[in-house]
């Protein structure tokens, strides 16, 4: 199981939107976290998330392709959810 940041809190799976990151070299990455406390530490307490079996990443890729899977990556504070002006 991995914790995946999403764009907003929702109880309806059809409204779920993954929060992708673009790397410095232009690749599209999905961030995943191995534990909820790591997600909170790396992305902030305000970050919405959903829990996904790791094998579900393949299905995500088939629906909405990405280039990389990055685990337990620290998101800079200015890029975290809830901090936008």
Residues 20-75 have pLDDT tens digits of 999 999 999 999 999 999 999 999 999 999 999 999 999 999 999 999 999 999 99
CB 68 within 8 A of CB 27: yes
Residues 62-81 have pLDDT tens digits of 999 999 999 999 998 888 88
Global confidence as pTM: 0.87
Domain boundaries, the chain: 2-78
């Amino acid at each position: 199981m991995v914790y995946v940041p999403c764009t907003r809190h929702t109880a309806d799976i059809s409204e779920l939107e993954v929060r992708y990151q673009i790397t410095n070299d232009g690749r599209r990455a999905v961030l995943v976290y191995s534990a909820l406390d790591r997600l909170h530490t790396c992305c902030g307490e305000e970050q919405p998330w959903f829990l996904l079996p790791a094998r579900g990443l393949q299905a995500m890729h088939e629906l909405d392709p990405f280039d990389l899977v990055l685990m337990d990556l620290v998101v800079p504070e200015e890029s975290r959810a809830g901090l936008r002006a």
